[in-house]
A = this chain, B = another copy of it.
Amino acid sequence: MELLPKTPGLALYAQVREALRAQIENGELKPGQQLPPEPDLATQFGISRMTVRRGIAALINEGLLYRRRGIGTFVTQFHIERDHNKLSSFFETSQELGADATIQFLEREIVPAEQEIAEALKVAFHEPLVHIRTLRLVGDVPVALHDEYIPHKLCPELMDEEIIDQHSWEVLDKHGYAIKLAIQKNHARGATTEVAELLEMEEGSPLLFKHRTIFAEDGTPVVFMVCHNRGDMYSLKMKLVR
């Protein structure tokens, strides 16, 4: 029951994680079933208990296992899908879905920061921002309108190069701003005349309206985004934890 044969370059706790995941996925460990006690697993795997615990903790985090103190560790009855609340670019998401997604550039300009955006990006009022407006289409149908605002001082190159959404993140990466997380606010709204025209829907039709601030690893806000999604074409999935 040694698991080392696989990927000797991988950390032991990660090998434990993958070994247990495999046992769950192939049915060796069934829903509701109790795992062997941690000391036993440590012996079986030939590693220390702390390392076993770390592997188990990862799977608990993913929702495949749960622990009850004094009782044991068990496989969850139904495994909810992983990777919710993941921040990913439009392309990353669309490619997973297999849809033929395209991005159409409508505008790129430098604008002074409005009050709301300045606050979100922690920059001065009227500070120059790069504004990029894009339309997202699936097939021929426009599904979303994006307005991104990035402080010009963070990334002057954004005005020079051929940029698509994914690339702006990469450019920021190169400047030492690794994109880490975002805070997003979602509303339901009726489409304004301008938005209705761009998204080819009737004025007042319901759309999902989002404000998003994207932060780098060190906590610096690097992008403010306003997004209009067609209500009939788009839904937003999320995981909530108690």
Write the residues of chain A forming the contact surface with B, with a CB cutoff of 8 angstroms.
31-32, 50, 63, 66, 74, 76-81, 84-88, 122, 179-190, 204-209, 212, 215, 217-221, 229, 231, 234-242
Contact = CB atoms under 8 A, between A and B. Distances in A.
A66 B242 contact: no
Nearest to A179: B242
Given A188-B206, A207-B188, A182 B218 contact: no
A78 B221 CA distance: 8
Contact of A219 (B79, B187, B239, B242): B79
A171 to B, nearest CB: 16
Contacts of A208: 186-188, 208
B185 A88 contact: no
Number of copies: 2
Contact of A32 (B78, B205, B218, B236): B218
Contact of A242 (B32, B86, B241): B86
19 contacts: A32-B218, A74-B218, A77-B220, A79-B219, A86-B240, A86-B242, A87-B240, A88-B242, A180-B242, A182-B239, A184-B240, A185-B235, A185-B238, A188-B188, A188-B189, A188-B229, A189-B231, A204-B204, A206-B231
Given A50-B50, A66-B180, A186-B237, 9 more contacts: A31-B219, A32-B218, A78-B221, A87-B240, A88-B242, A186-B208, A188-B207, A188-B234, A204-B204
A185 to B, nearest CB: 5
A11 to B, nearest CB: 13
A166 to B, nearest CB: 12
Contacts of A236: 185-187
Contacts of A184: 237-240
